[in-house]
Amino acid sequence: MGWLNLCLAQEPIFTNSGEDVLIEGMVADTSLEKTPNKEVELIISVSSFDDNRARAFVKKYNIKTTNRRRFKLVIPAPKKFWYVTFSLNGMPSGNYWSDTDNVYLFERGDHIQCILSNSYFNFEGKGAAKLQCQSEVYKLAQVSNGKKTIEANWDSYLSRRSSERDLVLNLQMAVIAKYESVMGKEMTEMMKANCVGQRYYKWFRAQSIYYSNASKISAFLRSSEYLNADKAQLSQLETVNLAMAPIYGKFLLQKIIMDQVKVVGDGVVLAANNKRLVFMDIKTKYRGLLREKLVLLFLLHYINSSEINTFFDESLALVNNVAYREMINSIRYPKEAGRLFYPFELEDNNGQKVVLNELKDKVVLIDFWYTGCLNCVDLHQAMMPIHEKYKNDQRVKFVTINVDRTKKMWLESVKKGLYTSKEAINLYAGQDMEGAKATHPLLKSYNVSLFPTLFILKDRHMYDANPPLSDMAKIEKLIATALQ
């Protein structure tokens, strides 16, 4: 009997011959050792798609537990391979409690025993080899992510970080090789693709932060990190396995987007029709399920753009996978200009209910944010001149909607004034609403998962679902036009 079984042998292990998945185990987190009776909430999220922006297709199982108390969960498997994330409410989050990047691939019929902590996940049981492999791989990635020192010379920094990530990737591939004979070809290829995606994805994703810094973008575009990324496209692996890897498709999309970025003089320039160019790259350079997945990721990435409506028919023509088509249809309509906004009823920071109809005949800027979001702070600071210009204009209202886990955290942040002003209409749509822990329907309706997110409404209808956050002059022009 292994170490996990010794820890978990308080009652018989559940088994059956069906295809349902059993996840059994405990939270054993060092940060909870001093408060062993503190109740926490383990959230196990299950989906047939690996992007948390497809919220409507995620099933969440909420388990009340305490440190080292056993839980047992039987899950009907939605398909042969599917995705699971583990997160924990009621305690400070650690790197392993992730619902974004640490995505675990499960398979029908898995019967898993696990010990979960903020530093490592341990798995045993039927089907556990692939999960233990993923946990070891993610552990190596966390070691790499922990090195944050940034040199003054950006080229030197990129070179060092690239070497570090290459070293980690080699170590991850060695871990996969250790489990390959048990996992088989299909899962092994998914794991390899996932490691390559993980090696590049976060760094490519982070480059959008530097679009206002031409020197940093120039350094990235001439770095081996960018130039060698084409070699990471793993054409020798089965495309269906590349598509199933949780992070690989996200990396490819970020690479395709970055290919449209140019530096001209002192400025960073995106091609005027960059979304069309990205879409055409996906359409012409990829095939099979991988292309279909990239099409869906493309739509999710640009979902806040008013231009996205021109891509839905073309996207459906390229996609045959039934689940992907359902997801595309579910996101097609809500953000169209002129459509009535979600009829919310939310509490403000004075305890009063605010409803959409109170904004009749107004031009409204709605800003979604959470405590700890540095980009949310930056947006508030950038928009202060616009607030000042329209503060006495009763035709314009500034609304902020917070998604913190607790009202207390939200109210404290409102008082600090870093994310919003007292003059704004400050509303709460977080997980503490009426004791609920589910995502608010308002956030689901518009797939709000990236922050800050800004919408402009006119007379309670969507006016612009993707105002340019980096260009306050354009935002001001949008307001002026909406007032006409």
User: What was the pLDDT predicted at 447?
Assistant: 74
CB of 49 closer than 8 Å to CB of 323: yes
CB of 421 closer than 8 Å to CB of 397: no
End-to-end CA distance of the chain: 74
Taking the C-alpha atoms of residue 322 and residue 58, their distance in angstroms, rounded to an integer, is: 16
What are the φ/ψ torsions at residue 150 (nearest 5 degrees)?
Answer: -115, 120
User: How far out from the chain centre does Cα 103 lie?
Assistant: 11
User: How far out from the chain centre does Cα 308 lie?
Assistant: 19
98 vs 8, 37, 88, 290, CA distance in Å? 24, 23, 9, 24
Give the count of beta carbons closer than 10 Å to the beta carbon of residue 36.
10
User: What was the pLDDT predicted at 144?
Assistant: 60
Sheet of 121-126, strands arranged across? 70-75, 21-27, 111-116, 121-126
pLDDT, mean of each 10-residue run, the chain (484 residues): 36 48 91 84 87 73 91 87 84 56 89 90 95 93 61 82 92 96 95 93 80 82 88 86 93 92 75 84 95 96 84 94 82 76 91 93 95 90 93 94 92 93 91 62 80 93 89 93 93
Beta strands 111-116 and 104-107, pairing class: unpaired
Tally the C-alpha atoms within 13 A of residue 379's C-alpha that lie toward its C-beta. Answer: 23
DSSP string, 62-128: EEEE-TT-EEEEEE--SSSEEEEEEEEESS---TTSBSSS--EEEETT-EEEEEE-SS-EEEEEETH
DSSP 13: P
User: What was the pLDDT predicted at 47?
Assistant: 87
DSSP string, 15-72: --SSS-EEEEEEE--GGGTT-TT--EEEEEEEESSS-TT-GGGEEEEEEEE-TT-EEE
Return the structure tokens found at 122. Answer: 């341990």
Taking the C-alpha atoms of residue 102 and residue 100, their distance in angstroms, rounded to an integer, is: 6
DSSP 151: -
User: What was the pLDDT predicted at 233?
Assistant: 78
CB of 467 closer than 8 Å to CB of 307: no
- CB burial of residue 105 (10 Å; 0-12, 13-18, 19+): buried
Taking the C-alpha atoms of residue 68 and residue 215, their distance in angstroms, rounded to an integer, is: 50
User: What was the pLDDT predicted at 411?
Assistant: 94
Residue with tokens 């793993």: 234
What are the φ/ψ torsions at residue 342 (nearest 5 degrees)?
Answer: -55, 130
Return the structure tokens found at 160. Answer: 């060092």
Reduce the DSSP state of residue 369 to 3 states and report it. Answer: strand
Q: Is the pTM of this model over 0.85?
A: no
Q: How many residues does the chain have?
A: 484
Please choose, from the candidates 175, 173, 188, 172, the residue with its C-alpha nearest in 3D space to the C-alpha of residue 241: 188
User: What was the pLDDT predicted at 16?
Assistant: 43
User: What was the pLDDT predicted at 96?
Assistant: 61
Taking the C-alpha atoms of residue 340 and residue 458, their distance in angstroms, rounded to an integer, is: 9
Domains assigned to the chain: 3-126 (2.60.40), 154-331 (no CATH), 345-483 (3.40.30.10)
User: What was the pLDDT predicted at 55?
Assistant: 63
User: What was the pLDDT predicted at 353?
Assistant: 94
User: What was the pLDDT predicted at 443?
Assistant: 85
Return the structure tokens found at 436. Answer: 């609920």
User: How far out from the chain centre does Cα 189 lie?
Assistant: 23
Alpha helices (runs of H) in 332-373, residue ranges in sequence order: none
User: What was the pLDDT predicted at 3?
Assistant: 32
Whether cis (ω within 30° of 0) applies to the bond prior to 452 is yes
